[in-house]
Amino acid sequence: MMPPGPPTFASAGATNVIGALLEQRTGQQIAANRAWRVETALKPVLRDHGLETLDQLVGRLAGERNGPLADAVVNALLNQETSFFRDAGVIETVVEAARALQAETPGRRLRIWSAGCSVGQEPYSLAMLFEELAVSRGFAMPEIVATDVCPSALARARAGRYSQFEIQRGLPVRRMVTWFDSIDGEWVVRPELARRVQFRCHNLTRDPAPIGKFDIVLCRNVLLYFASAVRRSVFDTLRSATREGGLLVLGAGETVIGQTDAFRPSERFRGFYQADGGQPAPARVSVR
């Protein structure tokens, strides 16, 4: 007989319960090849709450599924990987598309939605390019709304404070010195750029789309780990937020093909998707 081993840090059951909590709150599923990250990601949460094992954590969660502990678990498990000018060509195409759309409807202020904006690099990258375009060509600054489900990510995004490592990923040095101040070893976005982005808390799987239509919606590297039914419903929400003829921009590994009829590949902007003329399906407010 095998001798009893040391107490395990995580039972499969505990990981399942935690995975279910994440999915119920955000739609995100923990892929099998990322399950190992659960323990590492939750270590600080355990420490902060005086817990030693995931089983203890699950025990505590059973009594308070909506309390601050559950929030901390969900926040810790969300993948928030991002960088300035991520897939730089895509960000530039967004600006090109905005110019084309603006030329078609002069006088109307364009609206852009960065859905799943993480700690803010994506909307700030766009804001920098549009500011430059405003100076060089008098382009009217679009309204940029940036949302995420994670309150702590949004707090960081609003503060616009980045570490030395974060500020050096994707951001050209000239833009760094133009748009950021160096304060106590961190890089802080200047107020004139910060005021160009409105950050709001928004859950793509639960909340109705923000009010008003958007010309361009970016939802990059968010849908990857949604179950397909959830993804379909999120596409409907995104469609309900997009002006007819407006554009949806997904991450490099994401597509609408075979997933929804609400968008089709854009003929003008490679890799982008266009909101079809047909009646948009009503946005579902709740998935569960």
Partner 1 sequence: MKTCLVVDDSKVIRKVARHILETLNFTVREAGDGREALDACLTDSPDVVLLDWNMPVMSGMDFLRALKESGISEKPKVVFCTTENGMAYIRAAIEAGADEYVMKPFDRETLQSKLQIVGVA
Ligand X SMILES: C[S@@+](CC[C@H](N)C(=O)[O-])C[C@H]1O[C@@H](n2cnc3c(N)ncnc32)[C@H](O)[C@@H]1O
Nearer to ligand X, 53 or 203 (CB): 203
Residue 251's binding partner out of ligand X, partner 1, none, with CB under 5 to 8 Å set by partner kind: ligand X
Question: CB of 38 within 8 A of CB of 19?
Answer: yes
Contacts of 14 (CB under 8 A, 6+ apart): 53, 54, 55, 57, 58
Using CB atoms within 10 Å of the CB of residue 222, give its burial: 0 to 12 exposed, 13 to 18 middle, 19+ buried.
buried
Assess 164 for contact with partner 1 (CB under 8 A): yes
Minimum CB separation from ligand X for residue 268, in Å?
A: 22
Nearer to partner 1, 83 or 114 (CB): 83
Residue 168's binding partner out of partner 1, ligand X, none, with CB under 5 to 8 Å set by partner kind: partner 1
Structure-token match 């958007």, residue found:
214
Phi, psi of 87 (to 5 degrees): 50, 70
Residue 177's binding partner out of partner 1, ligand X, none, with CB under 5 to 8 Å set by partner kind: partner 1
3-state class (DSSP) for residue 182 = strand
Nearer to ligand X, 150 or 238 (CB): 150
Assess 173 for contact with partner 1 (CB under 8 A): yes
Residue 204's binding partner out of partner 1, ligand X, none, with CB under 5 to 8 Å set by partner kind: ligand X
Contacts of 270 (CB under 8 A, 6+ apart): 93
Nearer to ligand X, 58 or 117 (CB): 117
Choosing from 53, 168, 203, 259, the residue that interacts with partner 1 (CB under 8 A) is 168
- Beta bridge partners, 113, equal 145, 217
Contacts of 63 (CB under 8 A, 6+ apart): none
Count of positions on this chain that bind partner 1 (CB under 8 A): 13
Residue 247 tokens read as: 């554009």
Nearer to partner 1, 8 or 164 (CB): 164
In the shown chain, the binding pattern of residues 74 to 113 toward partner 1, with x for contact by CB under 8 A and - for none, equals ---------x------------------------------
In the shown chain, the binding pattern of residues 176 to 205 toward partner 1, with x for contact by CB under 8 A and - for none, equals xx---xx-----------------------
Nearer to ligand X, 205 or 274 (CB): 205
Binding stretches for ligand X (CB under 6 A) = 26-28, 78-82, 86, 116-118, 122, 148-150, 153, 202-205, 220-222, 251
Residue closest to 266 by CA, chosen among 215, 228, 223, 231: 215
Minimum CB separation from ligand X for residue 116, in Å?
A: 3
Residue 112's binding partner out of partner 1, ligand X, none, with CB under 5 to 8 Å set by partner kind: none
For residue 272, the one-letter residue type is F
For residue 112, the one-letter residue type is I
For residue 212, the one-letter residue type is G
Phi, psi of 256 (to 5 degrees): -95, -15
Minimum CB separation from partner 1 for residue 194, in Å?
A: 18
Residue closest to 201 by CA, chosen among 240, 157, 145, 150: 150
d(CA 240, CA 223) in angstroms, rounded, equals 17
Residues that bind partner 1 (CB under 8 A): 83, 164-165, 168-170, 172-174, 176-177, 181-182
